[in-house]
Structure 1
Amino acid sequence: MQKDTLPSKSSTVTRQDSSGKKMLRRTYIMAEEKILPGHKPMWDKLTLVLCANASGNCKVKLLLVYHSENPRAFKSHKITKENLQVMWRANSNAWVTRDIFVQYVNVVVGPTIKNYLTTNNLPLKALLILDKATAHPPTLTDDIEEFKYIEVLFLPPNTTPILQPTDQQVISNFKKLFTKHLFKRCFEATNLTLREFWKDH
């Protein structure tokens, strides 16, 4: 997998991560079987943007960017994007653009933060911490006029692994849980090859 991405004054952190159909990259075999040819893992690129407050009790709906606006699975299983547990957007490179990110902040992040603060009787003050990804526009504050109570702070260059909370096991734990859930579903689907599982499930 490739990696790129409220109390009082809250810390809300986003992180985007480019992932795919997560398969194991190694085949574990006995030493005497090392001459057997290996196989490349299946890989299908997508990008996820993770966002939560510092304490983790306010998790914002994920942004998922895929290269297809309407994948075949959506049509065959009659899936509507509005009912997904992610905000689905498409880009030819499966990457977050500035337009997509600004839309995500206005449609999902802003309302979620406002609802959290209001529900918990907290003042409308929030701090949105971002890294220097190209999808994060320096003028983001001007693009979210409806949510003026959100202050945007950009981390200094080359400090993301040290300072950003989502890099402190959040992303790795997310990947582990995803892989565990994926293989659980795969094992439950009997008499199917992995390729058939991806196609039909």
Structure 2
Amino acid sequence: MTGTDKLTPLIIGHSRNPRCFRGQRVSLPWESNKKAWLTAAIFKEWVRKIDGEMGRRRKKIVLLLDNCTAHPHNVPIDNIRLVFLPPNITSFIQPLDQGIIRNFKARNRSQMMRRVISAIDNDNIDSAQER
């Protein structure tokens, strides 16, 4: 509730091994499928990982979810309680529908572009020093 514990976001893309990441270490968990959407299988795996992490830290958490088909009710977990919001109200009360996703993507894209530009600039500086 205080915001001191934050879960690492899971990124879902189209490609299993995107060209832009070749030779680079991806700092966030990455999953892929044809439509770059969350699936029940991806969700179950992610929740089990979080459940294991919470078990190691001896914590119990509540995870609020909407009634998306990718959020199955039958995930075997011990340290997470899944609470599903009532149908047809999530767009009014869900924070992710209030602009968080858009802001997160914009900030992530901006930081990635800064890193790319910095890497290009550093490579140009290194090349110039070699001459």
TM-score, normalising length: structure 1: 0.49
Are residues 1:90 and 2:37 paired? no
> What is the CA distance between 1:169 and its match in structure 2?
4.8
CA deviations on 1:141-172 (whole Å, 9 max, x unpaired) are xx22xx32422111112222332244455334
Coordinate RMSD, CA, aligned: 2.6
Query: C-alpha distance in 2, partners of 1:149/1:62?
Result: 19
| Equivalent in the alignment of 1:100 | 42
Q: Is the 8 A contact 1:61 1:86 kept in 2?
A: yes
- Higher strand residue share: 1
Q: Check 1:187–1:98 CA distance in 2 against 1; reply closer, same or farther (3 A cut).
A: same
Query: C-alpha distance in 2, partners of 1:115/1:128?
Result: 17
Are residues 1:57 and 2:4 paired? yes
| Equivalent in the alignment of 2:66 | 131
Are residues 1:69 and 2:16 paired? yes
Indicate the structure whose relative CO is greater, using CA pairs within 8 Å and at least 6 residues apart: 1
Q: How does 1:31-180 map to 2 (within 5 A)?
A: 54-75=1-22, 77=23, 79=24, 84-107=26-49, 109-116=50-57, 118=58, 124-139=59-74, 143-144=75-76, 147-180=77-110
Q: Is the 8 A contact 1:61 1:85 kept in 2?
A: no
Q: Is the 8 A contact 2:67 2:87 kept in 1?
A: yes
Q: Which amino acid aligns with 1:137?
A: P
Query: C-alpha distance in 2, partners of 1:165/1:94?
Result: 21
CA deviations on 1:123-148 (whole Å, 9 max, x unpaired) are x4321110111211132xxx22xx32
Query: C-alpha distance in 2, partners of 1:87/1:187?
Result: 23
Q: Check 1:85–1:184 CA distance in 2 against 1; reply closer, same or farther (3 A cut).
A: closer
Q: How does 1:11-30 map to 2 (within 5 A)?
A: none
Percent identity for Structure 1 against Structure 2: 34
Q: Check 1:174–1:115 CA distance in 2 against 1; reply closer, same or farther (3 A cut).
A: farther
**SS of residue paired to 1:110:** helix
Q: Check 1:87–1:186 CA distance in 2 against 1; reply closer, same or farther (3 A cut).
A: closer
Are residues 1:184 and 2:126 paired? no
Q: Which amino acid aligns with 1:111?
A: G
Q: Which amino acid aligns with 2:18?
A: P
Q: Which amino acid aligns with 1:101?
A: F
Q: Is the 8 A contact 1:62 1:85 kept in 2?
A: no
Structure 2: gaps of 5 or more residues: 122-131
**SS of residue paired to 1:62:** coil
